[in-house]
Amino acid sequence: MGNEEELLVQRISEICDSISNLPSLSPSEEVDNLFTELVHLCIPVIPIDVVKLSSEVQAMRSKLIKLCGEAEGLLESHYSDVLTSFDNPLDHLSLFPYYSNYLKLSHLEYSLLSRYVASPPARVAFVGSGPLPLSSVVLAARHMQEAELHNYDLDATANARARRLVQGDPRMAARMAFHTEDVLAVTHALRGYDVVFLAALVGIGHDDKIRVVDHLASHMAPGALLVARSAHGARAFLYPVVEPADLKGFEVLTVHHPADEVINSVIVARKPQGGHAAGATAVARPCKYCEMMQGFHHFGHGSMMEEVALEELPS
């Protein structure tokens, strides 16, 4: 690890300690300042492979991702409550400080997805939708204007907040369903979706993530698409990494690592028509991101996965 990477990990560790010592992760000036610095540290494109870090740093990273997930949930709950104070909360989504990031991420995901669908998806599932389901709302309002969106979350309170958020728009509410279920207990219903989106924080631990992916591979319909959020480089201190090789039972179609303020990487994969595949299949086009990083390859395996520059995507 070079000097730049060592300094980065040291500062991230210090911030992790500071966050751990906070009395609460609910939105406050101190919480906001620490997480803002953390995000700004992790956004720059730095060729750091978190898999190769020491066990001590790995443990810190796992702890930090859990803290980020808890803080994100509290932030979304807070703003969901703020938004539902309006007659139509959907008219005021820009109050959420990261709304523009959701717009960009949803555009990226749909642009990648649209290259592999013959017709617009009719039924879509979002696993891990939370109390402020901005991804589903943006997809429904801007990209999938006729689709039904089924949102899955373990937390009944989160789903109650999410329902209130869309109630002010009857047409949107009619297209949105909220299910308080563990996706691992959902079987037959998964066969009814053309596309399944997997939120980054569903399955924080690697084994948990693999368990979810394997379950989706077993129960999604042949030909259905999976859109899985991941993280790359220093951004993997904020969210779990999904390796293409982790998507057993799917054919990996494309991988995209943003280089802007959109934090999550995106993987689009398809369940083969023949059923459960033996393993993930990578596309073969060289990756411009890897070339730019002078040999630092996606996910630290030296494989040349496809990476599509955002400016090349259809609008």
CATH number for the domain spanning 3: value is 3.40.50.150
153 closest CA partner among 194, 188, 182: 182
- Phi first, then psi: give them for residue 233, nearest 5 degrees: 65, -140
Q: Give the C-alpha separation, 283 to 306, whole Å.
A: 6
Count of domains observed in the chain = 1
301 domain-assigned = no
309 domain-assigned = no
Inter-residue contact 139 to 175 (CB < 8 Å): no
292 domain-assigned = no
105 domain-assigned = yes
Inter-residue contact 218 to 186 (CB < 8 Å): no
Q: Give the C-alpha separation, 15 to 58, whole Å.
A: 15
Task: Write out the two tokens for 284.
Answer: 């073969």
58 domain-assigned = yes
Inter-residue contact 70 to 20 (CB < 8 Å): no
97 domain-assigned = yes
23 domain-assigned = yes
| Domain range enclosing 258 | 1-283
315 domain-assigned = no
Per-residue pLDDT of the chain (315 residues; tens, 9 = 90+): 568 889 999 999 999 999 999 999 999 999 999 999 999 999 987 778 888 899 999 999 999 999 999 999 999 999 999 999 999 999 999 999 999 999 999 999 999 999 999 899 999 999 999 999 999 999 999 999 999 999 999 999 999 999 999 999 999 999 999 999 999 999 999 999 999 999 999 998 899 999 999 999 999 999 999 999 999 999 999 999 999 999 999 999 999 999 888 999 999 999 998 754 544 444 433 333 333 333 333 333 323 334 443 333 443
